[in-house]
Every structure is written in structure tokens, then in C-alpha cells.
């Protein structure tokens, strides 16, 4: 059974994961409006991943005899300066999610909740991948600078991403 403290912390994480999904959906809408369908696709895949992450937490709470309490999701930013600006926001946000998951893990350690520690291991590994993906795209965008052909090539590459 989950402690009340851990249950509340996981409920906050569910909110953060759903907020993340909403942020990515907003970014997808932005890119659709900019005729960057590959970037939009990449963000839509992220949207679905974040929703899945939230649902894994949701199911876990009930598997451990807890209750989920959903909170309001803040309205995401809708206007961005450039694809590089967006990807820097993505990286910053993923680092925030990583910090939140690390705090959850620390709480599970403190409470000697071994099941939750085991459950969170997947998220810890996932966050390494999330931060690397954002960093890789940032690096590509920085290499292309203002070259429209480079942006088009990155857009085409991101358009190939499929949901897992």
C-alpha cells in the first residue's frame, strides 16, 4: 500500500505528465501553423508518450491501493520564436520532469517502498532518453543556423518518428 505522502507525490507527477502532454500538443499546433509537419509529428508522438506516462502512474496508484486525485492542467504557451526556441523549452521542461521523478525516487527510498523504487526505475531511464533526444535536435538546429534547407531536412527526419 502506498503511503499518503507518496500517493500525493505521484498524483502531482500525474499532473506534471498530463501538463507535459498538453505542452507538446500546443507545440504541435504551433508547428502545424508554421508548415513544419515533421516537427508537429515529433511533438504529437511526445504528446502520446506523456499521456501514456501519466496513465502508467495512474494505474500504479490503484495497483497499490491508492486513489488518484486529478488537478487542473495549466494552459501551455502557444507562441514560440523558432524551432530552436521550442526545443530549448522542451529540454528545460524534460529536465524539470527528471528532477520531479528523482524526488519521487528519493521519497520512495526514504520510505523504503521497494515496489515504487522498482516502478520508478523505468522513468529514470526514460528521462535520460528524453533529454538526449531534445539535446540531439538542439544540436542539429544549432548546426544548421538560419539555413532553410537544413531546417527542411530536420523537419523531414522528425516526420519519420513513429509512436512506440
Q: What is the CATH number of the domain that holds 20?
A: 1.20.1260.10
- Tell me if 50 is assigned to some domain: yes
pLDDT band per the 50, 70, 90 thresholds, residue 7? very high
Residue 103 pLDDT: 98
Locate 1 and state its grid cell.
500500500
How far, CA to CA in Å, does 93 sit from each of 86, 88, 146? 10, 9, 24
Residue 164 has pLDDT above 80, yes or no: no
- Tell me if 163 is assigned to some domain: no
Alpha-carbon gap, residue 45 to 164, rounded angstroms? 9
Q: Per-residue pLDDT averaged across 61-66, rounded?
A: 98
Residue 163 has pLDDT above 90, yes or no: no
Q: Per-residue pLDDT averaged across 12-30, rounded?
A: 98
Provide the number of structural domains found in the chain.
1
Nearest to 3 by CA among 125, 104, 123: 104
- Tell me if 105 is assigned to some domain: yes
- Tell me if 144 is assigned to some domain: yes
Residue 85 has pLDDT above 90, yes or no: yes
**DSSP reduced 3-state for 14:** helix
pLDDT band per the 50, 70, 90 thresholds, residue 89? very high
- Tell me if 164 is assigned to some domain: no
Residue 136, number of CB atoms within 10 A of its CB: 11
Residue 39 has pLDDT above 80, yes or no: yes
Question: Are the C-beta atoms of residues 63 and 113 closer than 8 Å to each other?
Answer: no
- Dihedral of alpha carbons 46, 141, 86, 132, sign: positive
Residue 98 pLDDT: 98
Whole-number percent of the chain with pLDDT over 70: 100
Range of the domain at 20: 4-158
Nearest to 43 by CA among 31, 51, 56: 31
Residue 146 pLDDT: 84
Amino acid at each position: 500500500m502506498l503511503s499518503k505522502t507518496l500517493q500525493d507525490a505521484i498524483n502531482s507527477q500525474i499532473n506534471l505528465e498530463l501538463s507535459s502532454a498538453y505542452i507538446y500538443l500546443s507545440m504541435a499546433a504551433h508547428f502545424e501553423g508554421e508548415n513544419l509537419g515533421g516537427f508537429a509529428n515529433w511533438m504529437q508522438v511526445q504528446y502520446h508518450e506523456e499521456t501514456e506516462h501519466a496513465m502508467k502512474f495512474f494505474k500504479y496508484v490503484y495497483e497499490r491501493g491508492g486513489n488518484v486525485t486529478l488537478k487542473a492542467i495549466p494552459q501551455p504557451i502557444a507562441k514560440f520564436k523558432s524551432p530552436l526556441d521550442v526545443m530549448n523549452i522542451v529540454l528545460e521542461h524534460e529536465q524539470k520532469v527528471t528532477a520531479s521523478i528523482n524526488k519521487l525516487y528519493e521519497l520512495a527510498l526514504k520510505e523504503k517502498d521497494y515496489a515504487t523504487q522498482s516502478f520508478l526505475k523505468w522513468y529514470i531511464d526514460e528521462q535520460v532518453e528524453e533529454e538526449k533526444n531534445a539535446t540531439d535536435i538542439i544540436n542539429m538546429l544549432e548546426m544548421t543556423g538560419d539555413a532553410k534547407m537544413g531546417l527542411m531536412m530536420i523537419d523531414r527526419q522528425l516526420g519519420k518518428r513513429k509512436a512506440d
